[in-house]
Chain A
Amino acid sequence: MEQEFRIEERVDEGVPVITVVGEIDVATAPQLREALHRVIAEGQSTVVLDMLGVTFLDSTALGVLVGGLKRCRELGGELHIVVADARIRKIFEITGLNKVFPLANALAEVGPQ
């Protein structure tokens, strides 16, 4: 059974952490875009996106991530993505985005726990 899509937000040691669970596709990516834009608009230039619970990712989702990364970097920050699933990492690799995003295997690698 597919895991229900959900987004949770928290702040850990001053850094916003957005946790996404489920499939990010054309239907759900707008919710992620909204969450990213809102957090960045609140003045946060560095954001951690916890995608450890993501089970599917399409090009629409990648477009949202690229947009979020641009906004963070324009403000002098970074969008850290935490992703461990080999299938999800493969999507970053085949699009070359693994060289663009700082990808981590665990939250501990980017600071906040």
Chain B
Amino acid sequence: MIEDSDLVATDTLGDGDCVVLTFPARGDLVVLARLVASAISSRVGFDIEELEDLRLAVGELCLLALAGSDARHGDLRLEFTVSPESLDISCTLAGAAPATISRSADGDEADELSEQILAALVDEHGREQEDGSVRAWLRKRRKGPLA
């Protein structure tokens, strides 16, 4: 049974908390990833500048996950994991690159820019291809202990 106290907002996310967001891999929905990144970043205790950095970085993560794929349909799955040291975010595209998301002729240049942006804004990041899916990830270290 759910107690009232279980439903009280605490305004924070703690060690081990994991938030998962899955949505169709469409360009107009990448904004959802940015919105969730903002909400989580503030609850983890990042300041406004770090929050803006993570909002931008998560968008780039989605774009990088989409960049290496060659299928036609699928979902983007984001996992936000909180630890005492960092906020870790991974973005996986399961078997798909929808025709609706395209960087057109600017694609290669934009991928390079994505890498530059992530390198500047987060502490670690990477991209891996495994079993037909692409996974892009980042780590942003926290300055202090859990709120």
CB distance A58 to B60 under 8 Å? yes
Taking the complex as formed, is B36 at the interface, i.e. its CB lies under 8 A from any CB of chain A? no
Taking the complex as formed, is A11 at the interface, i.e. its CB lies under 8 A from any CB of chain B? no
Interface code A61-80, partner B: CB below 8 Å = 1, 0 otherwise?
01110110000000000000
CB distance A25 to B59 under 8 Å? yes
- A sample of 28 cross-chain residue pairs with beta-carbon separation below 8 angstroms, ordered by A number, consists of A25-B31, A26-B27, A26-B30, A26-B59, A26-B63, A26-B103, A58-B59, A58-B60, A58-B117, A59-B60, A59-B63, A59-B114, A59-B117, A60-B103, A60-B106, A60-B110, A62-B113, A63-B109, A63-B110, A63-B113, A64-B106, A66-B106, A66-B109, A67-B109, A87-B52, A94-B120, A95-B116, A95-B117
Identify which of residues 44-76 in chain B touch chain A, using a CB-to-CB cut-off of 8 Å.
52, 55-56, 59-60, 63
Interface class of chain A by DSSP: helix
Q: Output the least CB separation between B107 and chain A (Å).
A: 7
